[in-house]
């Protein structure tokens, strides 16, 4: 499953470690929320980076105290019609100021890229190669956005107000 990061297909530096398996001494790991919460300190004092896969059925509140020590948070889309992780992503980015890697995992098609990016995701485990390859092109699908989110894209309303302001300033 290709990983898209910073707009292109890239090698995944994080190793998925299953719940029963032993943690490697160093290197970046991605582990389940349950495993992480058993003993966060033990995990975080390792030499390598830590990423946590957070389920979409659990409020992110329990993760918030650890955010500044995490290198990645992976949120889950069990099917692409299950949109809970969009809310989790916005809360992590916009309310809790998380600025590490925010990864989308699960059933990810190109048709969610723009929504996900707007919600704060910057890494995507994409289901199909063709979709991963089409990432950059797909992100150009839209140039107009009606809603403000934490992604910094200017809204249609703000563009209109700016235009109006510059028009009246020019008179």
* Residues near other proteins (CB under 8 A): 59, 80-84, 86-88, 90, 94-95, 109, 111, 114-116, 118-119, 128, 130, 141-149, 155-157, 159-161, 164
In the complex, least distance from residue 74 CB atom to other proteins, rounded to whole angstroms: 18
In the complex, least distance from residue 127 CB atom to other proteins, rounded to whole angstroms: 9
Q: How far is CA 7 from CA 69, 141, 144, in A?
A: 25, 14, 19
Chain centre distance of CA 71: 12
In the complex, least distance from residue 139 CB atom to other proteins, rounded to whole angstroms: 12
Q: Where are the beta strands (DSSP E) in 33-164?
A: 50-54, 72-77, 101-106, 123-125
> Between residues 74 and 116, which has the closer beta carbon with respect to other proteins?
116
> Between residues 147 and 171, which has the closer beta carbon with respect to other proteins?
147
Q: For residues 115 and 135, give the distance between their C-alpha atoms in angstroms, rounded to a whole number.
A: 13
């Amino acid at each position: 499953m290709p990983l898209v990061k910073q707009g292109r297909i890239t090698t995944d530096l994080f190793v998925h470690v299953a719940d029963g398996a032993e943690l490697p001494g160093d290197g970046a790991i991605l582990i389940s929320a349950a495993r992480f919460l058993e003993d966060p300190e033990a995990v975080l004092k390792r030499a390598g980076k830590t990423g946590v896969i957070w389920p979409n059925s659990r409020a992110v509140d329990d993760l918030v105290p650890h955010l500044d020590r995490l290198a990645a948070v992976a949120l889950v889309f069990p099917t692409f019609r299950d949109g809970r992780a969009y809310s989790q992503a916005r809360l992590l980015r916009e309310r809790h100021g998380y600025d590490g890697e925010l990864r989308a995992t699960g059933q990810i098609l190109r048709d969610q890229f723009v929504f996900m990016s707007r919600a704060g995701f910057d890494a995507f485990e994409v289901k199909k190669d063709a979709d991963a390859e089409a990432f950059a092109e797909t992100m150009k699908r839209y140039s107009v956005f009606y809603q403000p989110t934490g992604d910094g894209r200017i809204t249609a309303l703000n563009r209109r107000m700016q235009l109006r302001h510059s028009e009246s300033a020019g008179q």
